[in-house]
Structure 1
Amino acid sequence: MPSQASQVPLDRWFSSERPMGVSASILIGLVTVTAWATAWSDWYSYRTLKTYGADPDKLDEADLISGSLGIISALALFAAAAVFIIWLWRVRWNAEMFCRGQHRFTRGWVLGCWLVPVVNLWYPKQVVDDIVAASDPRTDPHTPTLKEIPGTQLVWAWWITWVIGLVTGNIVQRGVLAGASQLGDLRTNVILSSVSALFTTGAAVLAVILIQRIDELQSVRPWVPWWAVGTPHNGYQPPAR
C-alpha cells in the first residue's frame, strides 16, 4: 500500500513521545495485573464449585467477583490500547520525517490494523517493524522502501507472546468456555487463564522494552528531516538487524 512518507510533511515537526510512551507503559503494566487477577478469579470459581457444590450463595459470590474483575480488565485493556495506539501514531509521524522510505501501510492502518479481524494477527507487527526501521540511525534517510529491512528479534518476541496470550485468553477461554459450569471445564478455564496471564505478562514486558527502544532510537537519531539530508547514497544496503 502506498504511503504518504514520500511527500514532504511540512505540517508537523519532530516531537519527543517519551511522556506518552511512559503512560502507555504504566497502563500496559496495569493490564498485566488485571490478567493475573482474572486468572485468580477463575481459580476462585473453580475452588468454590469444587468445595461448595451447588450452593447458590457461594456461586453468586464467585460470579460477582469474576464479573467485576472482567469489567475492570476490559477497561484497563481499552485504556492501554488507546494510549499505545496514540503513541504509535505519533512515533510514526517522527519515523516518516526521519526517513522517506515507503511504509507497508498508510498511516490510517496504525489504528485500523488492530481493528480488522484476521489481519490484526500480523499487520500491527509490520507497522511496528517499519517504524523501528525508519527510526534507526543506521537506516539511510533516502531509503526507498522499508519492508526489505529485516525485523528485530525484539519485535518478533513481543508479537508472538502477544498473539499467544490473545488466543488463549480471548478466543479459546472466553469463546469456547464462556459460561462453563462443570468442574472439568472450570479447571480447563483456570489453566488457559493462567497461560494467558503468563504470555500477557511476557508481552507486556517486551512492549515496555520496545517502547523504550523506539524512544531511544528517535532520541539518538539527529532530528533532521530526510529532505534536508542531501542526496541518496548510491549502492545503499539496509543494515543488518
Structure 2
Amino acid sequence: MSTEADRVEPRPRVLRWPAGDPRSLAVAAQVLIAAQTALQVVLAAAGGTRTELFRQFVPFNGPLFIGAVVVFLCWFRRCRLNAERFAPRTHKYSTGFAVGAWFIPGAMWWIPRRVALDIWRASPPAGGAWLIDAWLIDAWWVAFLAKTVGGVVLELTLPYLYLYSPYDAAVAVVAAVLAILVIRRITAGQYAAASAEPAVPPFAGFSVR
C-alpha cells in the first residue's frame, strides 16, 4: 500500500548561478564559431582572396568573426564569475583577466588558457575526468596558437601563401571543433556545480559555505 509520502512529487533542483546561466551564451558562441569557420573553409576551397567569391562573401566574414569573439568572451567571463563562487580563492588570475588577458600582447598567448583551466577546476566532473578535460583545453589552446600565431608566421615567411589558404582552413576547423568541445564541457561542468549548490534561504544576506 502506498503512503502519502510516496505520492509526494520530488522538488525540482534549484540552480544557483552567481553571475547568470551561461548556457544561452554557450549555444550562441558555438553557432557563431561554426558559421565563421564554415565560411572560412568555403573561401579557402574556392581559392582564397584571389577569387570573385571572396569579394562577394568577405563582407559577411568580419561581422561573423566579431560576433563570435564578443559572444565567446561574454560566455567566458560569465563562467569565470560563476567559478569564483563555486571555488573561491582558488584562481590564479582575477575575474578581469577573463576578458582583459585576450587583449594584452604576449599575455594573450598564455593567460586565457590558465583562466580556462581554473574555471574547469572549479566545477570538475565526477569520476576523475578532470585529466581528460585538461588535455582537451590544452589541445584547444595549441590549435588556437597554430591558427593565430602560426598563420601570421607563415604569411611573413612564405609571401606566396595567400590568406584563406588550405592551412588557414585546416587549423580553423581543428580550432573550432576543439573550442566548441571546450565550451560544451565547461558549460556542462558549471551546470553540475550550480545544481549541487545548496539552496540559499530567501532574503539571506550571506551565502552558506
Q: Which TM-score applies when normalising by structure 1?
A: 0.65
**Is residue 130 of structure 1 aligned with residue 118 of structure 2?**
yes
Answering whether residue 128 of structure 2 is matched by residue 154 of structure 1, we say no
What are the residue-to-residue correspondences of 1:106-145 with 2, within 5 Å? 106-136=94-124
Q: Report if aligned partners of 2:49, 2:162 keep a CA contact under 8 Å in 1.
A: no
1:140-174: CA deviations, max 9, x gaps? xxxxxxxxx9770010011111110113434533x
Counterpart CA distance in 1 for 2:19 and 2:54 is 45
Tell me which of 194, 197, 204 is aligned to 1:223: 197
> d(CA) in 2 for partners of 1:120 and 1:14?
24
- Give the whole-Å Cα distance in 1 for the aligned partners of 2:169 and 2:19: 37
- Return the alpha-carbon distance in structure 2 between the equivalents of residues 27 and 18 of structure 1: 14
Partner of 1:208: 180
Does residue 165 in structure 1 map to residue 144 in structure 2? Answer: no
Sort the Cα spacing of 1:227 and 1:171 in 2 relative to 1 into closer, same or farther, 3 A.
farther
Alignment-mate amino acid for residue 147 of structure 2: G
Q: List per-residue Cα deviations over 1:97-140 (Å, max 9, x = no partner).
A: 111133221111111111112221111111111101112256xx
Displacement, 1:228? 2.0
CA distance in 2, matches of 1:120, 1:215: 22
Whole-angstrom distance in 2 between the partners of 1:69 and 1:122? 33
One-letter amino acid matched to 2:179: A
Residues 137 and 44 (structure 1 numbering): CA distance in 2 closer, same or farther, change over 3 Å? closer
1:167 to 1:39, Cα distance in 2 relative to 1, 3 A: farther
Task: Give the 3 Å change call, closer, same or farther, for CA 105–37 of structure 1 in structure 2.
Answer: same
SS in 1 for 2:189: helix
Q: How far is 1:37 from its partner?
A: 2.6
Residue type of the alignment partner of 1:110 = A
Q: CA deviation at 1:36?
A: 0.8
SS in structure 2 of the partner of residue 107 of structure 1: coil
Q: Distance in 2 between matches of 1:70 and 1:171?
A: 23
Quote the residue 1:102 is aligned against. 90
SS at match of 2:136: helix
Q: Over residues 27-82 of structure 1, what are the superposed CA-to-partner deviations in whole Å (9 max), with x where a residue is unaligned?
A: 0101211221331343573xxxxxxxxxxxxxxxx3x5434544432321111010
One-letter amino acid of the structure 1 residue matched with residue 101 of structure 2: C
2 CA distance for matches of 1:38 and 1:176?
Answer: 22
- What is the identity percentage for the equivalent residue pairs of Structure 1 and Structure 2? 27
Aligned to 2:36: 31
Q: CA RMSD in A?
A: 2.8
TM-score (norm 2): 0.74
Q: Name the residue aligned to 2:74.
A: 86
Q: Show structure 1 runs of 5+ residues with no match.
A: 1-11, 46-61, 139-148, 230-241
Q: Indicate how the Cα distance of structure 1 residues 124 and 14 shifts in structure 2: closer, same or farther if over 3 A, else same.
A: closer
Letter of the 1:194 partner, please give it: P
Change in CA separation of 1:159 and 1:110 when aligned onto 2, cut-off 3 Å: same
CA contact (8 A) 1:41 1:69 kept: no
Contact 1:31 1:76 (8 Å CA) reproduced? yes
Q: 1:127 to 1:67 in 2, by over 3 A?
A: farther
- 1:198 maps to a residue whose letter is A
